[in-house]
């Protein structure tokens, strides 16, 4: 499945403008033959917007979800996007997958919150593995810091995730995550990992870009630079199946030895 990564911080604080950015990117992604467009963490509203997070948070089936569904259906491709989710009086840092016909397929709440900023504004989610079937692949969702915990990605591998989509707000000086860790995660878990980042200065943060789609061989299929960019590459189920046949990591595990990890 051709996968497009929208490396952009959009227009922080403006849902309306960010939907326009997403719409334009969806048009370009569809023209490239992409079946999936992934946008960064908190793309819908902006990340470093302080108390506006709570003000702009919406339910998973709210007006903005309907707007994204309309964009997906009009351009004929699935979309993953990050947003602040309101559920009653609780706000989560969430990512949602909407299909090419506008159906809401999966909604994931970030389980590992990074730093005081996130812990001040969000409640952590409790469901580690969230998946959906899309164009012949099992697509899983994590958000940014989640992927830095090997247990999370291994849980996805054991649950059969083929393409792990990770909306991200990765900041300086942690660019080694995009450069080195993501290809390793893809290799050691035998999956594709799409890591799509914000870019540029926003509030107190400097986002580093470097969005990447890494394959099960540990090789980047595409990688963005440090500017706003749309990059596209393929997650090939045939290559994935062959790689899993030849790589023994998951078969050679000895779970009986790992009890001390929990």
**Burial letters 69-107, b for 16+ CB under 10 A, else e:** bebbbebebbbbbbbbbbeeeebbbbbbbbbbebebbbb
Is residue 110 annotated as part of the catalytic site, yes or no?
yes
- The yes-or-no answer on residue 116 being catalytic is no
Query: Is residue 141 a contact partner of residue 152, using CB atoms and an 8 Å limit?
Result: no
CA distances from 233 to 48, 92, 212, 219, 222 (A): 29, 30, 9, 12, 6
What span, in angstroms and rounded, lies between the C-alpha atoms of 71 and 74? 5
SS3 123: coil
Catalytic residue among 58, 85, 110, 118: 110
Give the active site residue among 58, 144, 148, 202. 144
Euclidean distance between CA atoms 262 and 155, whole angstroms: 13
Q: Half-sphere exposure of residue 247, counting CA atoms within 13 Å on the CB side? A: 18
Catalytic choice (41, 58, 85, 202): 41
Gap between the Cα atoms of 207 and 189, Å rounded: 26
Cβ atoms < 10 Å from Cβ of 248: 10
Which tokens belong to 100? 């090419």
> Nearest Cα to 109, choosing from 132, 136, 78, 87?
87
Radius of gyration, CA atoms only, the chain: 17
- Please state whether beta strands 163-167 and 192-196 pair in parallel, antiparallel, or not at all (unpaired): parallel
Catalytic residues: 41, 110, 144
């Amino acid at each position: 499945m051709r996968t497009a990564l929208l490396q952009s911080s959009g227009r922080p604080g403006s849902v309306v403008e960010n939907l326009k950015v997403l719409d334009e990117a969806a048009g370009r992604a569809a023209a490239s033959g992409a079946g999936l467009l992934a946008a960064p963490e908190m793309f819908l509203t902006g990340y470093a917007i302080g108390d506006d997070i709570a003000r702009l948070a919406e339910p998973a089936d709210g007006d903005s979800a309907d707007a994204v569904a309309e964009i997906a259906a009009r351009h004929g491709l699935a979309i993953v996007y990050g947003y602040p989710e309101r559920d009653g009086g609780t706000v989560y840092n969430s990512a949602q997958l909407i299909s090419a016909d506008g159906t809401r397929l999966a909604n994931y709440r970030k389980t590992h919150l990074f730093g005081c900023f996130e812990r001040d504004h969000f409640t952590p989610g409790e469901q580690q593995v969230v998946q959906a079937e899309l164009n012949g692949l099992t697509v899983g969702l994590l958000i940014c810091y989640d992927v830095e915990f090997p247990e999370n990605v291994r849980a996805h591998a054991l649950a059969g995730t083929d393409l792990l989509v990770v909306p991200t707000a990765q900041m300086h000086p942690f660019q080694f995550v995009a450069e080195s860790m993501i290809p390793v995660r893809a290799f050691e878990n035998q999956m594709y990992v799409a890591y799509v980042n914000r870019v540029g200065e926003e509030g107190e943060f400097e986002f580093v870009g470097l969005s990447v789609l890494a394959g099960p061989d540990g090789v980047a299929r595409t990688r963005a630079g440090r500017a706003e960019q749309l990059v596209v590459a393929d997650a090939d189920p045939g290559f994935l199946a062959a790689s899993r046949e030849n790589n023994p990591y998951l078969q050679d595990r000895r779970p009986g030895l790992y009890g001390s990890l929990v």
